[in-house]
Structure 1
Amino acid sequence: MFYRFRNDFQLSIITLLGVSAVTGIVPFAVFRFWNGEVLAGLLDTAIVTLIIAGMTYAWVTGDSRRAGVFMCVLISAGAAAVAIVIGTKAIFWIYVVLVTSFFLAPPALATVCNLLMLGAVVLVGDPFDQNQSLYSFLATGIMVSCCAYVFGRRNEDQRIRLERLATHDPLTGAKNRRVMEEEMQAAISTFERNDTPHALVILDLDHFKTINDNHGHGVGDVVLRDVADLVNRHTRLSDTLFRFGGEEFVLLMPGVRPEATASVAENLRYKIMTELRGPRGSRITASFGVASLRVGESDDLWLERADSALYEAKTTGRNKVVVAERMEDDMDDMNAQAIVDDRLTTAVPSC
């Protein structure tokens, strides 16, 4: 629980808002019921109840984004309603909401909610006796919103960059190994539920170390980026490319039948060989290992079968595609033939 609280900024804001609602708004609700202000007390109670419901939803589902949007709209509407019912005594809550909304929702939505809240308070509630007070409220409210907008926009940009750094390889733009493990497990769950076929393709650039040793890592980085771009261009949007490490990439393909995986990998092998060029026009080639997901197979075993097929491709000449299922069938045939030969040899009496 504490890990999620520390690492999910929006969830932490939602949680703090829930705690603040209980400790800050509930006493006001009790006080208003005590003074006979039933409508205001009911409004406070409804706001607290919905905030707690949103916080609970965020913790149970992990969907802090949707919960944040819901709570942004809720507190904006609630603050406006309380200000309209109670008057100037509730105006101070408006400033809290003007800032908090930018922590809960995207800046554009928070801006719309703030403007609607200010407009509702001024046009519907009209809590100010003097125009000077009205103008001061609008001016300070807009200034607070502008400052919060700048902060919210920068926070959103930084969050997007941090999320990308945490999930993508900075050199090639492909997703990283941690995300690959998560998506492989999700693919296995989908396969078990819906029987949707999935294929895993591992590709490894041939003699890549020679490029780095002879021409420098900068040239090698360019080759890696070119390979990632080519694979993304020649695969579907539903396919996902991961950088597995060094010059190895993994391609996860949902909805591809086992008989079609070899064709996809062969097309990529041909495109890399014919379209990419290394330093001084040298040819770039890659070896491929392909494995389709089997019933009851774990992600480690699935990856191991694809890696074994890749090893077979590397050790039998490179620049080729080896399908794990075909390799395993060939090995089974060879073992069966060896058993038959052994039995025939044993059956022949020695002279």
Structure 2
Amino acid sequence: MHNVWMRLKGDFQLSIITLVGICSLIGITPYTVYRLLEGNLLVGGVDAVMVCSTCIAVVYAWRTGNTLKPGQFLAVVYSIGTFLVAIKLGVNGLFWFYTLILFNFFVVPPLQSAAATFCSLLAICIYGYLHPGVVFESLYQMTSFFVTCLIASFFASVFAYRGRRQREQLVELATLDPLTRVGNRRAMDSELEIALAEHRRYGTRYGMLVLDLDLFKEVNDSHGHKAGDRVLIEFTRIIKQSSRQSDRLFRMGGEEFVLLLPKLSRQGLEKTASHIRTSVAEQLKGPGGPVTVSIGGSVLDQHSSVDAWMHEADTCLYQAKEGGRNRYVISPTNESYGRTQGQTQLEKELSPAENQG
């Protein structure tokens, strides 16, 4: 029960879909039974389809975590169902359009919800115009209904858009590093736990690289924090450019970063580390000259926890730092895989003291 509550708290769209399912069971089911017992098979059947569709959508959303498709599916089902109920019940069925408006704008994206709502309103108004007295008692009543629905749609869209935007901003604040715009420590912890779970359940391979800029404190001390910030921003750009689209970069804090690499062997992890080290040495320029990076890496294997996996990569990073910086060490083996081979021309031109930086 605790896990259910935590999912509902952490996923607004899932909570809305679930709430719709509960309201559908409680609110529409009695009408379904009443209409069927009354002999109104069309409306009763439509209500039954809406209830069943809602249950299917809720189950799908909970099992897959995908709330967009269930929302779109229900928007179509509810729009058609509301139209059919209205042409059968007349004025009494029109009240459901206001519920439809609220549902559409809070469950599906703004443009899609606006399209679904407008199509439903247009359809019922065209039907009412072609069949005078069936749905609307007069043209004036139809016009009033159409205008009030548009006004309700406008306010619903504004509140839904503002709410959606604020949730996105909250997610960014909670998961993104404000300076570099990569994942923060909180997002990293979550992703690493997911990686560990996938590895244990499906055997998915994952690699981790811990990257630390060499002697970065000297940049801040000598040239100021703004200069250091520019170096960090450029560093993340280089890492993203040197990585695959599926790789995830996180900032642990300061000048230390973690790169999570899915579906990568140890050999692939070593090649990636070598490529990143070379790219940073060639491209990253600080106010005082080139800035290099030391890298420690580990392939997820029989680690008991994320902390154990991280500790192994940190140990490799420490070895790279102790070995002279501007190099990488990859585990797990008993051998040391520190690399200094394949130095670039730029590295060769540096003095020994600079090359240590």
TM over 0.5: yes
**Is 1:305 the counterpart of 2:293 in the alignment?**
no
The DSSP-based 3-state class of the residue aligned with 1:288 is strand
Q: What is the correspondence of 1:157-306 to structure 2 with a 5 Å cutoff?
A: 157-191=165-199, 197-279=205-287, 281-295=288-302, 298-306=305-313
Q: Distance in 2 between matches of 1:55 and 1:268?
A: 44
Aligned to 1:82: 85
The DSSP-based 3-state class of the residue aligned with 2:290 is coil
Q: Distance in 2 between matches of 1:13 and 1:255?
A: 35
Amino acid at match of 2:239: V
* Aligned-pair CA distance for 1:141: 1.8
Q: Distance in 1 between matches of 2:92 and 2:203?
A: 61
Aligned to 2:30: 27
* Aligned-pair CA distance for 1:193: 6.2
* Aligned-pair CA distance for 1:211: 2.3
Aligned to 1:345: none
* Aligned-pair CA distance for 1:26: 2.9
1:49 to 1:259, Cα distance in 2 relative to 1, 3 A = closer
Amino acid at match of 1:117: S
Out of 146, 150, 161, the position equivalent to 2:158 is 150
Across the two proteins, how many residue pairs are aligned to each other? 329
Contact 2:211 2:295 in 1 (8 A): yes
Larger Cα-atom Rg? 1
* Aligned-pair CA distance for 1:190: 4.7
1:6 to 1:238, Cα distance in 2 relative to 1, 3 A = closer
Q: Distance in 2 between matches of 1:138 and 1:165?
A: 40
Amino acid at match of 1:262: E
* Aligned-pair CA distance for 1:135: 1.6
TM-score by length of 1: 0.84
Q: What is the correspondence of 1:83-162 to structure 2 with a 5 Å cutoff?
A: 83-124=86-127, 126=131, 127-162=135-170
Contact 1:40 1:85 in 2 (8 A): yes
Amino acid at match of 2:84: A
Moved more, 28-37 or 134-143: 28-37
Contact 2:303 2:309 in 1 (8 A): no
* Aligned-pair CA distance for 1:268: 1.6
* Aligned-pair CA distance for 1:113: 0.9
1:30 to 1:292, Cα distance in 2 relative to 1, 3 A = closer
In structure 2, stretches of 5+ residues that fail to align are 338-357
The DSSP-based 3-state class of the residue aligned with 2:208 is strand
Contact 2:329 2:336 in 1 (8 A): no
Amino acid at match of 1:329: E
Amino acid at match of 1:35: E
Aligned to 1:41: 44
1:233 to 1:287, Cα distance in 2 relative to 1, 3 A = same
Aligned to 1:338: none
Moved more, 79-88 or 21-30: 21-30
Amino acid at match of 1:42: G
Contact 1:308 1:324 in 2 (8 A): no
- Aligned-residue sequence identity (percent) comes to 38
TM-score by length of 2: 0.83
Q: Distance in 1 between matches of 2:76 and 2:102?
A: 13
1:297 to 1:274, Cα distance in 2 relative to 1, 3 A = same
In structure 1, stretches of 5+ residues that fail to align are 332-351
The DSSP-based 3-state class of the residue aligned with 1:201 is strand
Amino acid at match of 1:269: R
Moved more, 317-326 or 200-209: 317-326
Moved more, 231-240 or 254-263: 254-263
Moved more, 303-312 or 42-51: 42-51
**Is 1:315 the counterpart of 2:318 in the alignment?**
no
Contact 1:58 1:64 in 2 (8 A): yes
